Structure 1
Amino acid sequence: MPDTSLRTLVDDLASPDPAVRDDGAYATLTRLVRDGDLPLDDRSWLGDAMVQRLRHERAEARSFAPLVLASLVAVGDLDEAWIPAVTRWFCNEQDLRGHDPELGWVHTVAHGADFFGACGAAGVGDPAALLDALARRIVVPTTFVWRDQEDDRVAHALALVLARPDVDEPTAVDWLERVRSLFASGSPGPVPPEASNTMRTLRSLHVALGEQPLQRGEPVTVQHCELVRTQVAAVLHEVTPWSWRTRAGR
């Protein structure tokens, strides 16, 4: 059983007060993990507690759990059960608020994406499953248009998974089938929020892959970068054929 201070931090991570939850508990927990100040038994207990937290009644409590799990993954800890647990929460979560005036950061989509990006950077989990989870999140029907750079965070997570050396060509682009299906189902009229979210995510990914994606400030290499960029551009062209065309000779 962990000591009282660790259990108090985990309790505070569910606080509706952003100063307690974000600036206090989250910052302290991730520092303890990063600096190696928690023994293995405590890290294991913390991971289990975060998986349980994904079922909390309040969104802001649920959404900070993947960030702590991401910090554990980054130092080499992973229980394979974490990935399907986070995937279920990530793809089914209905509260997609970014910043709330009273609660502070909820940021469900961004925090979930950070977990999958951490798995990508650490080389853990099945890359096809990680990419599919991110794709499922961006296309799921919603009434909420992302406004707090969730699209950029998902794109960054996609890039980190795509940078893994075990990603082959089919895996690098198969996740785009979910996007093609979404766009193919469209009809004239207002753009559905999920379609807007998806378009902006793909544009962010296209830009990142055209430059140098970063992990903790250091560039990573995406082996199939041009293949992914070409297919992302082709998918985006389906929804904006009046805006641009492929350069001659490409």
Structure 2
Amino acid sequence: MTDWTMIESDDCAVPADRPLEELVRELSAALGDPDPAIRDGAPYSVLATWIARGVIDAPRRLALGDEMAARLQDREIQARTFAPLVLDMLVEKGDFRAGWVDAFERWYPAETDLRGYDEKLGWLHAVAHGADLLDRFGRHPEVDPVRMLHLAATRLTTPTDHVLDQLEDDRLARAVARVLTRPDLSERDATTWLDPIGACFGADRLSTPVPAHLTNCLRTLRLLYVLADRGVRAPGTESAPEALRHRAAVKERIAAVLDLIVKR
């Protein structure tokens, strides 16, 4: 196997003795490896750098995106959950295919393994990595932001026994907040995606103990309310917070939905 750590330490310089196609295939395989030292180590850094720098040309990037979209249905959890990270890199670079959105929409609410971290496999982060891609797609001019808002609601209301950990709910709240900054959202668009969550609270309000998916909804909406009030920053930046569209209406609707569970 290629010594990706050495390549990373050499400012991700491309080896001259190997075809780029072969190197990209190896990097792609590494990002599905069950060994977290391989999957989440130097290969990830090198692939991200090569995509950002344009080392991997557009046709190869599109092919890689198609591969990642297909990988969302892989049998291995770590392969599924790292595929959105690569798609996020590609879309950030300017690559896009509508089929990638379709594949993501099929996978995200259907994923049943919501562990943030596994002692053997390392970071999995299905919800968080999916949230990052939801943010990216939701702010893309070729994607209807309402579609991503409803996808977030579906992910939250899908029954599960797993209470989100490792800040997964925070990542999803920030992703939704970022989608809600889209200037083309109407007030209706910015609020009605919350209706299924309200219906879920109403239907399950007599459940004891509180179902895990309701806890996940509560935690996500609490932070979303704060972000609606204060604005949301781009991930990893100290930029000024960006205001959500129709923030007053969004806050009012979130509060009304949360009130349904408070009245249990």
Q: Partner letter of residue 6 of structure 1?
A: V
- Alignment equivalent of 1:213, drawn from 210, 232, 257: 232
Structure 2 unaligned runs (5+)?
Answer: 1-18
- Indicate yes or no: 2:250 matched with 1:239: no
CA 1:108 to 1:188, structure 2 compared with 1: closer, same or farther past 3 Å? closer
Q: TM-score, normalised by structure 1?
A: 0.92
Structure 1 unaligned runs (5+)?
Answer: 243-250
Q: Percent identity?
A: 39
- Indicate yes or no: 2:111 matched with 1:93: yes
Matched residues in 1 for 2:192 and 2:85: separation? 27
| Match of residue 247 from structure 1 | none
Deviation at 1:122, TM superposition (A): 3.4
List structure 1 segments (4+ residues) > 4 angstroms apart after TM superposition: none
| Match of residue 229 from structure 1 | 251
Matched residues in 1 for 2:189 and 2:80: separation? 30
Task: Kindly provide the CA deviation profile for residues 93-148 of structure 1, in whole angstroms up to 9, marking residues without a partner as x.
Answer: 11111011111111101111110101223333111111111110011000111111
| Match of residue 9 from structure 2 | none
Local SS of the residue matching 2:130: helix
Aligned pairs, number:
242
Task: Kindly provide the CA deviation profile for residues 136-190 of structure 1, in whole angstroms up to 9, marking residues without a partner as x.
Answer: 0011000111111111011011011111111111110111011011001111410
Query: Structure 2 matches for 1:60-79, cutoff 5 A?
Result: 60-79=78-97
| Match of residue 133 from structure 1 | 151
- Indicate yes or no: 2:173 matched with 1:151: no
Matched residues in 1 for 2:197 and 2:49: separation? 37
Q: Partner letter of residue 157 of structure 1?
A: A
Matched residues in 2 for 1:241 and 1:193: separation? 18
| Match of residue 22 from structure 2 | 4
The alignment yields a C-alpha RMSD, in angstroms, of 1.5
Task: Kindly provide the CA deviation profile for residues 40-74 of structure 1, in whole angstroms up to 9, marking residues without a partner as x.
Answer: 11111110110111111110110000111111111
Deviation at 1:11, TM superposition (A): 0.6
Matched residues in 2 for 1:230 and 1:9: separation? 46
| Match of residue 160 from structure 1 | 178
Q: Answer yes or no: is the 8 Å Cα contact 2:181–2:244 preserved in 1.
A: yes
| Match of residue 136 from structure 2 | 118
